Amino acid sequence: MKNMEGIKIAILTEEGFEQIELTSPKEALENAGAITTIISPRPRKVRGWDGDNWGAELTVDEDIDTADPDHYDALLLPGGVMNADKLRQNFKAVEFVKEFLQSGKTVAAICHAPQLLIETGLLKGRTLTSYPSLRTDLNNAGANWVNEDVVQDENLITSRKPADLKAFNNVLVEALSLQEN
């Protein structure tokens, strides 16, 4: 087991996140000793999407309006079509992600979450993966899209889908356990 004691992870999400893409990495990070905080523009609670129906409601720990990237060591962006579409239209959410990318802190995004990364304008020359339907959008944003279960390009870790969560979680925990907190 990796030791991530004291490492603080921001999890940025909106209503309609792909439930397993938030809960599985969150659990892996917490089991390694990290502290996770769910941040959202939505007050109090956010609902996940689980299969073909609404899933669990999770408590929002901090509002995007007051969240400060300087208080966190890394950022996790779960997927979900609704989640990514709502967040990419939220100026504060886009700026929050942009600050993480520019600072060199780890940003981990899975499935449809890279749609939010596109909005930062910082993907030119980066290699990443995502749900396959985002390939053209990511290429148009200047990224090099590859069809692999998980890709790490410097501080950016991306993955395709729930079936890749084990690999995604392993790379994420490994990368964060190597950084100094």
- The tens digit of pLDDT for each residue in 120-162 reads 999 999 999 999 999 999 999 999 999 999 999 999 999 999 9
Answer yes or no: is 1 within a domain: no
Answer yes or no: is 24 within a domain: yes
| % of the chain with per-residue pLDDT over 90 | 93
List, by residue number, the catalytic residues.
111-112
Whether residue 77 contacts residue 106, with contact meaning beta carbons closer than 8 Å, is answered with no
Whether residue 108 contacts residue 170, with contact meaning beta carbons closer than 8 Å, is answered with no
Cα separation, 12 vs 4, whole angstroms: 20
Task: CATH number of the domain at 97, please.
Answer: 3.40.50.880
Tally the domains of the chain.
1
Tokens 């504060």 belong to residue: 92
Q: Name the residue range of residue 143's domain.
A: 8-178
Answer yes or no: is 174 within a domain: yes
Answer yes or no: is 90 within a domain: yes
**Span 98-122, mean pLDDT?**
98
Q: Under 8 Å CB-to-CB from 82, ≥6 apart: which residues?
A: 14, 15, 16, 17, 49
Answer yes or no: is 2 within a domain: no
Answer yes or no: is 3 within a domain: no
Cα separation, 112 vs 80, whole angstroms: 6
Answer yes or no: is 52 within a domain: yes
Q: Is the pLDDT of residue 163 over 60?
A: yes
Helix (H) or strand (E) holding 1: none
